[in-house]
A and B are shown apart, each in its own frame.
Chain A
Amino acid sequence: MNFLRKTLDNIKKPFAKGEKYERFAPAINAFDTFLFVPNHTTQKGAHIRDAVDLKRTMVTVIIALLPALVYGIYNTGYQYFIQTGESFTFMDAFIHGAWKIVPMIAVSYIVGLTIEFIFAIYRGHEVNEGYLVTGLLIPMIMPVDIPLWMVAISVAFAVLIAKEAFGGTGMNILNPALTARAFAFFAYPTYMSGNKVWVSEASNVDAISGETILGSLAAGNSVEYTFFEMFQGAIPGSIAETSTLWVAVGALILIATGVGSWRIIFGGIGGAALMGFLFNLWGANALMSFDWMNHLVVGGFAFGIVFMATDPVSAAQTNQGKWIYGILVGIFCILIRVFNPAYPEGVMLAILLMNVFAPTIDHYVVEANINRRKKRWAAAQLKTA
């Protein structure tokens, strides 16, 4: 360890203050700090500090994402082989999926991190770890057959417009990963919707329909999957969102570690269940009478509410606000699904919409606190007067 440290210190010499490559220090520091927690000590404020930092938090999110990602890789292969009708093993399916998905992840990280590094050097701050999560989320919510260059452009759009234009990590209004998906959705609709994009190579294989459940419901068809199949996730869909089971495992990790807000997650589930239930009572069409429990396990709802709505930067920031925000995401998700058949996947638009309104929710929560205090002041003045 000492040898490694010495080598690193030698490599870092030209990047030190006042040296030739000082400007590029954030780039080299980003790698160094992944090996070692730096030797920085407290200079002001509390003399001792918690072990938690942003790296630890972000890595926890990545760990929570892994079960859904691994299942998504397997499901990609599984969907491919059942449409061609070939016999296959678990490994066949997994390898097919990895062959498709690993390049997408690589492209997402390379493009996104390059932009992040450039901005860190340009602005003179350290590279923030937030993109480690965003960069993994983006491929996980794309259809498997989307060309890599579209992934690259979506990533660039999300990082530049949704994040850096607002001032970088911590300042963005919209969730960057969802912005990437929304960009692709509106810019390349033929690659992002329909019945030929959800199963690997579906457009090349002249086979059965690979439509998503919500897509076929919107088209007025009935669903052929049982609740458990939908929950377990062996259904067509974006890469890693199909399995509510493995998303729930991720949710447990996020809630147990306190990294994801349980208020948003449970608020969202409650809101969606309530809305689904109300529509069940109404029951005017196939989507309305789609059982409310099924609403929770199909499409991207579970993935969205667990991994996207809980993004602390773009969500509401007060505890009360988180409840309201979560419930509204759930309600709007089902509303959009039912009322707008052109966008059967409601959760993306519901979260982006609530991202925009999150500061408003917080505003009213904080205003209530301010009014409470002002009332107390007024009461005290009455008493002394």
Chain B
Amino acid sequence: MSKDIRIRKGFNLNLEGEADKILVDINPSKTFALKPDDFFATTPKLLVKEGAKVEKGTPLFFAKENPRIHFVSPVSGEVTAVVRGAKRKILEVVITDDGANQSVKHDIPALNDLDAEQTKEVLLKAGAWPFITQRPYGTIARPEDTPKAIFVSTYTTAPLDVDYDFLLKNNKAEFQKGIDVLAKLSENVTVTADASFKGFFDKVTNADVVGVSGMHPAGNVGVQIHHLNPINAGERVWVVNPEDVVNIGALFATGEFSAQRTVAVVGSSVKNPQYYKATIGASIPALMETVKVEDAGQKRYINGDVLSGTATSPEGYLSYYNNVFSIIPEGNEYRMFGWLPFVDNNIPSMSKTSLSWLFGKRKAKVNTNLNGEERALVVTGEMEQVLPMDIYPMQLIKACMIEDVERMEALGIYEVVPQDFALVDYSSTSKLEAQEIIQQGIELMIKEEG
């Protein structure tokens, strides 16, 4: 039993539109899609053509970087479209559900009889490998590696993020099973949970359960790794989302690929924010049949939370990993004299040039306005307040901007992913795009290391 950790820096955005603890099924989605862009730094190589019949668990494409990693269909049906973008880049592989509900069956030996390599083989063959990502870089883990630890973070701090104790309330057995599988891959499995209320995670065995407290980004698994078991050059730590632990557990329990994806539909534009039981890649129109959205004004639909999610069209599909789907108003309006100090205090601000800190308990309604214009970097010290790691964020960002790989490495690029800089984006006086810069830096690192 490890000691709980407390993260002292950060900022909680208290927003309107938190999901009520109600779990309902979404209306059946007719089409599903896998989007290769959900898998960072992965180039897809198609295994099926348009018109092919697939079952749930049939591989659709594999990763060019590592052909052992397969991406499988979440439902049975027919591949009806391969949507391509510029330079014929694959954007979506669309499957139309045939309702037959057929799955690829895997004959999986009892867990006790498997060693690490055999366990990896099962996960790779069944298409469950993409559930495992790695640090550094936040890419899909390499099956050839042996991680020094596997982390599962059930503590969430991002704006309007889910409560995993509620979200997984019907999957406790599968969760434990999934942890048992992960324990085959590494002796050191850590599950982090809210230090004040660990819920059913407190009873999880075969893993080290650690309580975490603190403001955002304390829930980011990278921040927790930094404080519990920091990554050194050459080391790998694997990361699995809590619901994907359940999917892995279900695979080993049933022998079928599990594509469960529960999403909390949140945000101030949603009239009935709640949890929906869905499937990976389900269509957003199917989801929206039961979600009530405010009528007035343009909206932004975001796969993920409002800080690090990806904007999507309302005709799009749910993404592979996210448990949050946010809908907030667009902010394409002018605000007269909005730059004066101490006006527009309804916008949550980390700066004391606003009085919003007086209303900390009030839930804020935010929109997508940039609230200013991009400027040269002038103010110093604000990034350090929202990056609770022993890393100099501004120096790291500048190293990424000048593409100095050695300096990026020395300053700690191995320990961060773009999401850790989400609050830097948010709080920046100069409206710096820190997440984008870090992402480009990581892409460069991957390219340089080959």
CA distance A63 to B340 in the complex (A): 11
CA distance A373 to B411 in the complex (A): 8
Q: Choose from B344, B369, B395 the contact partner of A49 (Cβ within 8 Å).
A: B369
A13 at the interface (CB under 8 A from B): no
Interface pair B371/A380, CB less than 8 Å apart: no
Task: Take A44-B436, A54-B375, A312-B379 as given contacts and tell me if A59 and B410 are in contact as well, using a CB distance cutoff of 8 Å.
Answer: no
Residues of A close to B377: CB separation below 8 A: 170
A84 at the interface (CB under 8 A from B): no
Stretch at the interface among A206-214, A254-262, A286-294, A328-336: A254-262
Interface pair B370/A57, CB less than 8 Å apart: no
Interface pair B337/A48, CB less than 8 Å apart: no
Interface pair A46/B425, CB less than 8 Å apart: yes
Q: Mark A24-60, 1 if CB is under 8 A from B, else 0.
A: 0000000001111111111011111111111111011
Interface pair A51/B371, CB less than 8 Å apart: yes
Q: Choose from A50, A128, A369, A370 the contact partner of B426 (Cβ within 8 Å).
A: A50
B37 at the interface (CB under 8 A from A): no
B168 at the interface (CB under 8 A from A): no
B361 at the interface (CB under 8 A from A): no
A195 at the interface (CB under 8 A from B): no
CA distance A53 to B430 in the complex (A): 6
- Chain B contact residues (Cβ within 8 angstroms of A): what range? 35 or more
Interface pair A317/B233, CB less than 8 Å apart: no
Task: Take A41-B370, A319-B381, A380-B235 as given contacts and tell me if A50 and B349 are in contact as well, using a CB distance cutoff of 8 Å.
Answer: yes
Interface pair B309/A47, CB less than 8 Å apart: yes
Minimum CB distance partner of B368 in chain A: A41
A22 at the interface (CB under 8 A from B): no
B99 at the interface (CB under 8 A from A): no
B141 at the interface (CB under 8 A from A): no
Interface pair B381/A317, CB less than 8 Å apart: yes
CA distance A369 to B392 in the complex (A): 8
Interface pair A50/B351, CB less than 8 Å apart: yes
Interface pair B339/A377, CB less than 8 Å apart: no
Interface pair A48/B378, CB less than 8 Å apart: no
Task: Take A39-B332, A42-B368, A366-B392 as given contacts and tell me if A256 and B352 are in contact as well, using a CB distance cutoff of 8 Å.
Answer: yes
Residues of A close to B410: CB separation below 8 A: 370, 373-374
Per DSSP, chain B at the interface is loop
B308 at the interface (CB under 8 A from A): yes
Minimum CB distance partner of B372 in chain A: A53
Task: Take A48-B426, A51-B349 as given contacts and tell me if A35 and B341 are in contact as well, using a CB distance cutoff of 8 Å.
Answer: no
B183-225: which residues lie under 8 A (CB-CB) from chain A?
none
Residues of B close to A44: CB separation below 8 A: 433, 435-436
Residues of A close to B423: CB separation below 8 A: 46
Interface pair A49/B431, CB less than 8 Å apart: yes
Q: Choose from B338, B353, B368, B390 the contact partner of A369 (Cβ within 8 Å).
A: B390
B143-190: which residues lie under 8 A (CB-CB) from chain A?
159
CA distance A42 to B302 in the complex (A): 12
Residues of A close to B13: CB separation below 8 A: 48
CA distance A5 to B338 in the complex (A): 14
Q: What is the CB-to-nearest-CB distance from A380 to chain B, in angstroms, rounded to a whole number?
A: 4
Residues of B close to A53: CB separation below 8 A: 339, 371-373, 375, 429-431
Q: What is the CB-to-nearest-CB distance from A360 to chain B, in angstroms, rounded to a whole number?
A: 14
- Most A-side CB within 10 Å, residue of B375, B390, B425, B429: B375
A229 at the interface (CB under 8 A from B): no
CA distance A4 to B412 in the complex (A): 50
B354 at the interface (CB under 8 A from A): yes
Residues of A close to B448: CB separation below 8 A: none
Residues of A close to B391: CB separation below 8 A: 369
A201 at the interface (CB under 8 A from B): no
Q: Choose from B306, B331, B380, B427 the contact partner of A312 (Cβ within 8 Å).
A: B380
Interface pair A381/B232, CB less than 8 Å apart: yes
Q: Choose from A4, A57, A318, A369 the contact partner of B429 (Cβ within 8 Å).
A: A57
Interface pair B336/A35, CB less than 8 Å apart: yes
A295 at the interface (CB under 8 A from B): no
Q: What is the CB-to-nearest-CB distance from B113 to chain A, in angstroms, rounded to a whole number?
A: 29
Interface pair A48/B336, CB less than 8 Å apart: no
Q: What is the CB-to-nearest-CB distance from A225 to chain B, in angstroms, rounded to a whole number?
A: 36
Residues of B close to A366: CB separation below 8 A: 392, 395, 411
A337 at the interface (CB under 8 A from B): no
Interface pair B230/A376, CB less than 8 Å apart: yes
Interface pair A37/B339, CB less than 8 Å apart: yes
Q: What is the CB-to-nearest-CB distance from A195 to chain B, in angstroms, rounded to a whole number?
A: 39
A284 at the interface (CB under 8 A from B): no
Residues of A close to B348: CB separation below 8 A: 50
Residues of B close to A42: CB separation below 8 A: 368-370
Minimum CB distance partner of B366 in chain A: A48
Interface pair A258/B332, CB less than 8 Å apart: no
CA distance A4 to B352 in the complex (A): 30
Minimum CB distance partner of B395 in chain A: A366
Q: Choose from B334, B339, B372 the contact partner of A34 (Cβ within 8 Å).
A: B339
Residues of B close to A5: CB separation below 8 A: 334
Q: What is the CB-to-nearest-CB distance from B339 to chain A, in angstroms, rounded to a whole number?
A: 4
Residues of B close to A56: CB separation below 8 A: 339-341, 351, 353-354, 372, 429
Q: Mark A246-268, 1 if CB is under 8 A from B, else 0.
A: 00000000001111010000000
Task: Take A46-B306, A50-B428, A51-B347 as given contacts and tell me if A37 and B378 are in contact as well, using a CB distance cutoff of 8 Å.
Answer: no
Residues of B close to A118: CB separation below 8 A: none
Residues of A close to B412: CB separation below 8 A: 373
Residues of B close to A35: CB separation below 8 A: 336-337
CA distance A286 to B430 in the complex (A): 48
B384 at the interface (CB under 8 A from A): yes
Residues of B close to A374: CB separation below 8 A: 410
A129 at the interface (CB under 8 A from B): yes
Task: Take A44-B436, A170-B378, A366-B395 as given contacts and tell me if A51 and B232 are in contact as well, using a CB distance cutoff of 8 Å.
Answer: no
Among all A-B residue pairs, the 8 with the closest Cβ atoms = A53-B372, A170-B376, A37-B338, A46-B425, A55-B339, A52-B351, A51-B347, A36-B334
Given contacts A42-B370, A317-B380, 9 further A-B contacts (CB under 8 A): A5-B334, A41-B331, A42-B368, A46-B435, A48-B307, A49-B428, A50-B427, A170-B376, A369-B411
Name 20 A/B residue pairs within 8 A (Cβ), A-sorted: A5-B334, A36-B334, A36-B337, A37-B334, A37-B339, A37-B371, A39-B331, A41-B330, A45-B434, A46-B426, A47-B328, A48-B307, A49-B428, A49-B431, A52-B353, A53-B431, A57-B353, A128-B376, A257-B351, A381-B232
Chain B residues within 8 Å of A, Cβ to Cβ? 13, 159, 230, 232-233, 235, 300, 302, 306-309, 311, 326, 328, 330-341, 344-345, 347-354, 356, 366-381, 384, 390-392, 394-395, 410-412, 422-423, 425-431, 433-436
